[in-house]
């Protein structure tokens, strides 16, 4: 029996049928040309799902080795214990040389394989600059239609958070005591201020206290230079010490993540909308570069169009497809 | 001493055979036979459920009961294991780590039942849980809890069982995981430093008595085939340990600073091809740890010639024991003073190892010590990289292995004419019998005494009191291995250690031919990706309790290097987890690695569960120590390919894997 088409499977995705969710994720990873339309159709049919609208997309990011996988694992267990379902997209880098990857997040996670309410998919960056895998944006949207909470876990400090801001409602940055890079990036305003800061490995007590103090200082400096610039300016970035191995601070982290979601409520749609616009632009620019943008009358014009048309039920993928066709058509006319 | 350097014959080292299988009663019979044959100490091998704290009726114990050692679930099993062997007169080495405090508690409880004097008990508990995170993989708890168990056992025995060796710091498994001699020296020493620092921090041992703790530390070392370098490694160990104990711990008594060690020579280098050659390797490897009088092992156990084929029989172990006896009693080795004192060559190589190891010791200490370097994955990654380099050198022929990559033609070996008889098979009905015996044990014991003992264990686990007295009381009350471990799991949690594979970097192949092979594989994989729309994705899983992850790690790294997306799950995953991962990850291929001999129980279960999940079209390959008859059976049950230690050419395996994905894609 040939596998059923993921687009027809949308209903089963909404019911969080793991086989259907998995096939849908395979499809969004499919780079063949004929897959693009089907992905666009799939995402369009999942867009209005109640979970997708009411749920929460949490981005978890931080430098390598701070214990993100273990933290994700502890977070997922605690979310499940609160009776909510959860989907995870764990993104790992691909080898520049071979294009292959080692996706090791599962090795650090302990979970119950018979739990129907938890789904973990590992993705490789596949050479994408910016840290998020080619398919991660779409994958998040698939999981958001099926699960209450979706977590996107990525590695990086600095520029790579920009991608995650576009796809997550709440960005959690994880660091460990003594990581100087983050402080420097924050102070210099290179890095956007995350919604929540986590100091993991807080079992190293003295170090952790100092790290929290350092971060508070860095946040003040960053706010002074105006690095925030986000609309939810009245949200004070909390700093939460956790120890993923000892299980401390996890409940507080979930409470804080929930509080941020609540805080977002009035502006959530605007934030997600802006993320979609940005994603559509990124997709288009990745495909056609500066020349594509200038041919279609410049960035401001495309952005305005994206904002309008995404309101009318279009998805970033389908919009990008349409812009691509226009661009190609223009090229053909002029030549 | 006579001018020639001759002197009175030295006492030989303790000769052991690592043994235990099936049941306590069967192992007892084996021990008594070995003792009658002139073996001078016992070395108990426990099965994996006992090592990882599960009773035979636990779902995770399926297929593993009695396989790589003896199952010991309670005091009754311990009694059967030593039936007719007075503990007071025995020197017993127990290869036990995460549950060491528990197994020693059972041993002490048994001694108390025999009215033996605790202070007279002699032997060793391995109790080096740190290296379990790096290599052997039978850890249970997070590092802090493991370190507590280690120090509880040490501080208890130093006072109560003063002749006991409470810990055997293991460099053995580091070498099996790929360590170079420098790394083996350095990581064993930082582990010892971590343990001694932790003992000091408990405050239970007055400073004036600390020399006693240092004096009870012993090591378990590996000896590989490069026996000149290995000889120097042992001499470097002696020198470095003297330095550490003197400078860091201020031990003044030279006897307490002595580097005391036992050895098992290298199992990893034993070959499946022309396996009769292994007995020669084993003898040469033994030389490295016996030739130097100044750095001679106190106890030696040798593997059997056919370990790469399956479980050795008693005769195979006897052959290895004979090798020791001939060296100790027939040759004149023990009549001489140290043979290498004054040798410039040996001195120079020893100093080179001392210096390079000392630099690496400082590196780890700068990173916060052994436990920190385990938690961050630093040491594990170094080991994985070294092992990858070693395997590549064999694959390219740069490192000669006779019968494997050189001199492969020859007359067939009469020793393996009937291959299936050349190894031991464990009766599969034993698991059922052990489960039934456990039920009887539980029915016959005093339930309220058990309840009380467990409550006390819980209280102590939450406090900072020593866990040993409560554990010994629990042993007397009839508590089981699974109950003891589960009680502590509930309080301390479990731990999944870094795999070291994700960050491991592997230097590009040295020869152009080897680089071309890899390029061709990458190209094939790239073309396949274009046709499939997705990069081929491989799931590497290690079902069962066996934690020897080298094979799985190397396959995972190699697969990434030819371009697969590889999901690596680490050790100890159940068949159910593997199938759940395959489903969620959308993989094109599954590779399983099993070295404990439990493949016939675990692989069919994975196959069955894949079928039930509608995933039977995903090709499944299996690697491990798998006899040909079993391999055939697995292939009949739907396994696409079976790889054994003789398949050392990773490029060939990769080519097969790409082909399998390609064929499956074409069929869809």
Residue B258 has pLDDT above 90, yes or no: yes
Name the pLDDT band for A131 (thresholds 50, 70, 90): very low
What is the CA B38 to chain-centroid distance, rounded?
A: 26
A296, A307, A320, A331, B263 from A302: Cα distances, Å: 7, 9, 10, 17, 72
Query: Which pLDDT belongs to residue A3?
Result: 47
Query: Which domain CATH number covers B272?
Result: 3.20.20.240
- In this structure, of A2-6, A62-66, A138-142, A269-273, the range with the lowest mean pLDDT score is A2-6
The neighbour count for residue B59, using CB atoms within 10 Å, is 9
Residue B86 lies in a domain: yes
Query: Which pLDDT belongs to residue A127?
Result: 65
Query: Which pLDDT belongs to residue A4?
Result: 53
Mutate to test the interface with A, among B492, B585, B615, B616 (most CBs of A within 10 A): B585
Question: What does the pLDDT average to over B391-403?
Answer: 89
Q: In chain A, pLDDT over 90 holds for what percent of residues?
A: 30
Interface of B with A in 181-240 (CB under 8 A): none
Name the nearest CA neighbour of B234 among B189, B176, B296: B296
Residue B1 has pLDDT above 70, yes or no: no
Largest CA distance in chain B: 82
Name the pLDDT band for A130 (thresholds 50, 70, 90): very low
Indicate whether B159 and B294 sit together in one domain.
Answer: yes
Query: Which pLDDT belongs to residue B460?
Result: 98
Name the nearest CA neighbour of B188 among B222, B225, B224: B222
CB of B256 within 8 Å of any CB in chain A?
no
| Cβ pairs A/B, distance under 8 A | 120
Nearest to B376 among A65, A99, A109 (CB): A65
Nearest to A100 among B493, B562, B581 (CB): B562
Query: Which pLDDT belongs to residue B247?
Result: 96
Query: Which pLDDT belongs to residue B638?
Result: 93
Q: Tell me the CATH class for A47-265.
A: alpha beta
Look up the domain containing B644 and give its range.
512-667
Nearest to A102 among B568, B585, B586 (CB): B568
Query: Which pLDDT belongs to residue B149?
Result: 98
Residue B22 lies in a domain: yes
Query: Are A144 and A57 a contacting pair, CB within 8 Å?
Result: yes
Residue B343 has pLDDT above 80, yes or no: yes
Name the pLDDT band for A227 (thresholds 50, 70, 90): low
Name the pLDDT band for B345 (thresholds 50, 70, 90): very high
Structure tokens at A165: 């801001």
Query: Which pLDDT belongs to residue B83?
Result: 94
Residue B507 lies in a domain: no
B302 or A220, greater pLDDT? B302
Interface of B with A in 486-545 (CB under 8 A): 493-496, 498-499, 501-503, 522, 525-526, 533-535
Mutate to test the interface with B, among A4, A65, A106, A147 (most CBs of B within 10 A): A106
Residue B358 has pLDDT above 90, yes or no: yes
Name the nearest CA neighbour of B562 among A105, A107, A133, A102: A102
Query: Which pLDDT belongs to residue A134?
Result: 65
Residue B79 has pLDDT above 60, yes or no: yes
User: For residue range A157-184, what is the model confidence (pLDDT) as tens digits?
Assistant: 655 545 787 889 999 999 887 766 667 7
Q: Which of A235-239, B34-38, B270-274, B604-608 has the highest mean pLDDT?
A: B604-608
- Are the Cβ atoms of A122 and B556 closer than 8 angstroms? no
Query: Which pLDDT belongs to residue A74?
Result: 92
Question: What does the pLDDT average to over B81-85?
Answer: 94
Name the pLDDT band for A316 (thresholds 50, 70, 90): confident
Query: Which pLDDT belongs to residue B456?
Result: 98
Lookup result for tokens 């600095």: A158
Question: What does the pLDDT average to over B334-354?
Answer: 97
Residues in chain B with CB shorter than 8 Å from the CB of A108 are 496, 498, 570
Query: Are B488 and B455 a contacting pair, CB within 8 Å?
Result: no
- Are the Cβ atoms of A95 and B579 closer than 8 angstroms? no
Query: Are B224 and B285 a contacting pair, CB within 8 Å?
Result: yes
User: For residue range B157-176, what is the model confidence (pLDDT) as tens digits?
Assistant: 999 999 999 999 999 999 99
Name the nearest CA neighbour of A18 among A143, A148, A194, A139: A143
Residue A195 has pLDDT above 70, yes or no: yes
What is the CA B659 to chain-centroid distance, rounded?
A: 34
At residue A243, what are phi and psi to the nearest 5 degrees? -130, 105
Nearest to B567 among A106, A110, A119 (CB): A106
Query: Which pLDDT belongs to residue A190?
Result: 59
Query: Which pLDDT belongs to residue B263?
Result: 93
User: For residue range A73-123, what is the model confidence (pLDDT) as tens digits?
Assistant: 999 999 999 999 999 999 888 888 888 998 988 888 878 889 999 999 999
The neighbour count for residue B651, using CB atoms within 10 Å, is 18
User: For residue range A3-41, what is the model confidence (pLDDT) as tens digits?
Assistant: 456 667 899 999 999 999 999 999 998 888 888 788 888
Sorted by sequence, the CB contacts under 8 Å of residue A31 that are 6+ apart come out as A134, B533, B534
Q: Which residue is closest to B142 within chain A, CA to CA?
A: A245
Measured in angstroms, the CA of B496 and the nearest CA of chain A are apart by 5
Indicate whether B394 and B520 sit together in one domain.
Answer: no
Measured in angstroms, the CA of A12 and the nearest CA of chain B are apart by 15
Cα(A268)–Cα(A54) distance, rounded to whole angstroms?
A: 10
Query: How high is the ipTM of this complex?
Result: 0.91
Cα(B561)–Cα(B563) distance, rounded to whole angstroms?
A: 5
Sorted by sequence, the CB contacts under 8 Å of residue B54 that are 6+ apart come out as B60, B61, B481, B482, B485, B545
A104, B41, B94 from B69: Cα distances, Å: 31, 17, 11
Q: Which of B398, B413, B441 is the last residue of a domain?
A: B398
Q: In chain B, pLDDT over 70 holds for what percent of residues?
A: 97
Lookup result for tokens 């436990």: B371
Question: What does the pLDDT average to over B395-417?
Answer: 88
Query: Which pLDDT belongs to residue A158?
Result: 53
Beta bridge partners of B107: none
Nearest to A104 among B143, B502, B614 (CB): B502
How many structural domains does chain B have?
Answer: 2
Sorted by sequence, the CB contacts under 8 Å of residue B203 that are 6+ apart come out as none
Name the nearest CA neighbour of A165 among A215, A228, A95: A228
Cα(A93)–Cα(A122) distance, rounded to whole angstroms?
A: 11
Residues of B assigned a catalytic role: 18, 172-173, 542, 546, 548
Measured in angstroms, the CA of A301 and the nearest CA of chain B are apart by 33
Query: Which pLDDT belongs to residue A230?
Result: 54
Residue A2 has pLDDT above 50, yes or no: no
Residues in chain A, total: 335
Mutate to test the interface with A, among B533, B547, B573, B589 (most CBs of A within 10 A): B533
Cα(B106)–Cα(B100) distance, rounded to whole angstroms?
A: 10
- Please count the helices (runs of H) and the strands (runs of E) in chain A: 14, 8
């Amino acid at each position: 029996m040939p596998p059923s088409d993921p687009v027809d499977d949308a209903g089963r995705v909404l019911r969080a049928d793991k086989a259907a969710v998995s096939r849908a994720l395979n499809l969004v990873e499919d780079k063949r040309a004929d897959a693009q339309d089907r992905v666009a159709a799939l995402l369009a049919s999942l867009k209005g799902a109640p979970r997708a609208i009411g749920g929460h997309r949490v981005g978890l990011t931080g430098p390598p080795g701070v214990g993100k996988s273990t933290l994700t694992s502890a977070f997922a267990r605690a979310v499940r214990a609160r009776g909510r379902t959860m989907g995870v997209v764990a993104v790992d880098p691909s080898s520049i040389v071979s294009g292959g990857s080692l996706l090791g997040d599962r090795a650090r996670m302990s979970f119950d394989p018979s739990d129907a309410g938890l789904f973990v998919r590992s993705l490789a960056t596949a050479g994408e600059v910016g840290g998020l895998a080619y398919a991660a944006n779409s994958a998040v949207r698939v999981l958001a239609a099926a699960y209450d909470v979706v977590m996107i876990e990525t590695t990086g400090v600095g520029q790579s958070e920009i991608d995650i801001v576009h796809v997550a409602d709440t960005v959690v940055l994880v660091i460990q005591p003594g990581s100087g890079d983050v402080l420097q990036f924050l102070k210099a305003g290179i890095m956007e201020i995350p919604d929540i800061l986590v100091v993991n490995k807080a079992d190293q007590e003295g170090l952790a206290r100092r790290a929290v103090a350092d971060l508070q200082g860095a946040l003040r400096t960053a706010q002074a230079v105006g690095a925030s610039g986000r609309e939810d300016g009245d949200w004070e970035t909390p700093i939460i010490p956790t120890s993923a191995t000892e299980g401390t601070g996890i409940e507080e982290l979930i409470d804080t993540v929930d509080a941020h979601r609540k805080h977002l409520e009035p502006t959530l749609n605007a934030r997600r909308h802006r993320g979609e616009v940005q994603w559509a632009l990124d997709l288009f620019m990745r495909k056609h570069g500066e020349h594509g943008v200038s041919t279609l009358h410049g960035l401001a014009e495309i952005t305005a169009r994206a904002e309008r048309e995404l309101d009318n039920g279009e998805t970033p993928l389908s919009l990008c497809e349409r812009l691509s066709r226009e661009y190609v058509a223009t090229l053909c006319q002029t030549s | 001493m006579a001018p020639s350097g001759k002197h009175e014959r030295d006492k030989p080292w303790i000769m052991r055979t690592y043994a235990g299988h099936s049941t306590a009663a069967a192992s007892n019979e084996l021990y008594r036979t070995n003792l009658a044959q002139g073996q001078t100490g016992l070395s108990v091998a426990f099965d994996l459920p006992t090592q990882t704290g599960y009773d035979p009726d636990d779902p995770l114990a399926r297929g593993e009961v009695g396989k790589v050692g003896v199952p010991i679930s309670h005091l009754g099993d311990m009694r059967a294991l030593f039936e007719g062997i007075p503990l007071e007169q025995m020197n017993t080495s127990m290869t036990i780590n995460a549950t060491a405090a528990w197994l020693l508690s059972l041993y002490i409880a048994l001694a108390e039942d025999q009215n033996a004097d605790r202070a007279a008990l002699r032997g060793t508990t391995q109790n080096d849980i740190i290296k379990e995170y790096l290599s052997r993989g039978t850890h249970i708890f997070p590092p802090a809890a493991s370190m507590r168990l280690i120090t509880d056992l040490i501080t208890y025995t130093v006072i109560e069982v003063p002749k006991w060796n409470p810990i055997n710091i293991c460099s053995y498994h580091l070498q099996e995981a790929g360590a170079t001699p420098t790394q083996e020296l350095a990581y064993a020493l930082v582990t010892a430093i971590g343990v001694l620092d932790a003992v000091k921090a408990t405050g239970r041992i007055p400073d004036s008595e600390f020399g006693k703790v240092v004096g009870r530390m012993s090591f378990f070392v590996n000896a590989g085939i490069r026996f000149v370098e290995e000889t120097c490694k042992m001499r470097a160990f002696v020198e470095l340990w003297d330095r550490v104990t003197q400078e860091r711990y201020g031990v003044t008594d030279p006897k307490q600073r002595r580097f005391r060690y036992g050895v098992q020579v290298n199992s990893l280098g034993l070959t499946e091809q022309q396996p009769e050659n292994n007995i020669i390797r084993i003898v040469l490897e033994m030389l490295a740890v016996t030739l130097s009088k100044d750095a001679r092992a106190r106890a030696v156990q040798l593997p059997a010639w056919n370990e790469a084929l399956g479980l050795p029989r008693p005769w195979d172990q006897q052959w290895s024991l004979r090798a020791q006896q001939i060296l100790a009693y027939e040759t004149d080795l023990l009549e001489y003073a140290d043979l290498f004192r004054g040798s410039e060559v040996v001195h120079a190589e020893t100093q080179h190892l001392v210096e390079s190891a000392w630099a690496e010791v400082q590196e780890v200490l700068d990173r916060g010590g052994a436990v920190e370097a385990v938690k961050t994955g630093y040491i594990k990654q170094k080991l994985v990289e070294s092992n990858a380099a070693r395997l590549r050198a064999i694959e390219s022929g740069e490192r000669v292995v006779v019968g494997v990559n050189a001199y492969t033609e020859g007359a067939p070996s009469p020793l393996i004419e009937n291959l299936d008889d050349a190894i031991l098979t464990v009766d599969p009905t034993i698991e059922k019998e052990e489960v039934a015996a456990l039920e009887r044990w539980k029915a016959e014991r005093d339930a309220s005494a058990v309840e009380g003992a467990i409550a006390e264990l819980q209280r102590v686990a939450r406090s900072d009191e020593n866990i040993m007295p409560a554990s010994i009381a629990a042993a007397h009350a009839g508590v089981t291995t699974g109950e003891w471990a589960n009680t502590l799991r509930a309080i301390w949690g479990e731990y999944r250690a870094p795999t070291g594979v994700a960050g491991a970097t592997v230097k590009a192949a040295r020869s152009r031919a080897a680089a071309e092979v890899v390029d061709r594989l990458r190209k094939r994989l790239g073309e396949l990706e274009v046709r499939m729309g997705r990069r081929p994705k491989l799931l590497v899983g290690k079902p069962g309790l066996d934690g020897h992850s080298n094979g799985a790690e190397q396959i995972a790294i190699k697969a990434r290097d030819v371009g697969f997306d590889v999901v690596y799950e680490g050790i100890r995953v159940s068949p159910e987890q593997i199938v759940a991962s395959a489903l969620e990850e959308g993989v094109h291929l599954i590779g399983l690695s099993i070295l404990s001999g439990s493949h016939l129980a675990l692989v069919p279960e994975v196959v069955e569960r894949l079928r039930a999940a509608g995933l039977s079209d995903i090709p499944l390959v299996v690697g491990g120590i798998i006899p040909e008859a079993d391999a055939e059976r697995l292939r009949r049950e739907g396994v696409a390919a079976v790889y054994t230690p003789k398949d050392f050419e990773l490029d060939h395996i990769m080519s097969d894997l790409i082909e399998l994905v390609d064929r499956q894609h074409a069929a869809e």
